[in-house]
Amino acid sequence: MGDADKQAAFMKEMQARLDKKLKEHEISIVEHWKSQLDKLISMKPDGIASLQLQMKRISDMMSNRIKMLKKE
């Protein structure tokens, strides 16, 4: 196996590791926000205003997270 083949194999392995890590990270993000929505669903709010307030809270949390990520 030549140096070029070794380098190509190494790059392929690194790409596979990166893809796996990104997928795991995406899963954790989706699980987090799903849990926030599940809490909202289980709350059985008194009315539309209460539901909207909780939805706004989740939206604000997401906005804050986006701002934090953009700063990094």
- Per-residue tens of pLDDT for the chain, all 72 residues: 688 889 999 999 999 999 999 999 999 999 999 998 898 888 877 788 888 888 899 999 999 989 988 987
Tokens of 46: 């008194």
Measured distance CA(72)–CA(68) in Å, rounded: 7
Cβ atoms of 57 and 45 within 8 Å: the answer is no
Helices 3-43 and 48-71: crossing angle in degrees, nearest 10, is 160
pTM across the whole model: 0.68
Q: What are the sequence ranges of the domains in the chain? A: 3-71
Cβ atoms of 54 and 43 within 8 Å: the answer is yes
Which region holds residue 2: left if phi is over 0, alpha if psi is between -120 and 50, else beta? beta
